[in-house]
Amino acid sequence: MTELNTELFDLTMSEKAKPLFERVKKHLEENVAPWQEEFEALNKEKTDRWTWHPRQLELLEGAKAKRARRGCGTSSCRMPRRARGSAISTMPISRRNSASIRRALKR
C-alpha cells in the first residue's frame, strides 16, 4: 500500500477562514440565540408539523425587518460575484430562477 498524504486528513480551520467563522458565531449569538428557544418550543404547540405557528411567523418577520434595517433589503444579503467565485450563490430558489439553476446543474 502507498503512503498516505496526511495533509489531506488535516481538518483544522485555516487562518483565512477563522475571521468568517467568528463573524458567523457572533451573528448566531446576537441574532438567532435570543429567540431560538421560543421558536423551537412553539413546535410542540402545532397540530400540523408542516405549518408554522403564528408566533413563529412573527419571529421570522422580526428577523427580516432587522435585516432590512441593516441595509440588506428584503431578500438575502449576497456577496459580490467576484468574492464568491464559482461557489453556489445564496440566492433563494424561486420559480423565476429555478429553471436556470436546473440548466446550470445539467452542464
Q: How many domains does the chain have?
A: 1
Range of the domain at 96: 17-76+92-106
For residues 45-54, one letter each, b for 16 or more C-beta atoms within 10 angstroms of the residue's C-beta and e for the rest, the string is eeeeeeeebe
64 closest CA partner among 56, 73, 55: 73
**Domain membership flag for residue 46:** yes
Q: What is the pLDDT of residues 15-58, one digit of tens each?
A: 999 999 999 999 899 989 999 999 999 999 988 989 999 999 99
**Domain membership flag for residue 6:** no
**Domain membership flag for residue 5:** no
pLDDT of res. 98:
66
Helix (H) or strand (E) holding 78: none
Helix (H) or strand (E) holding 31: none
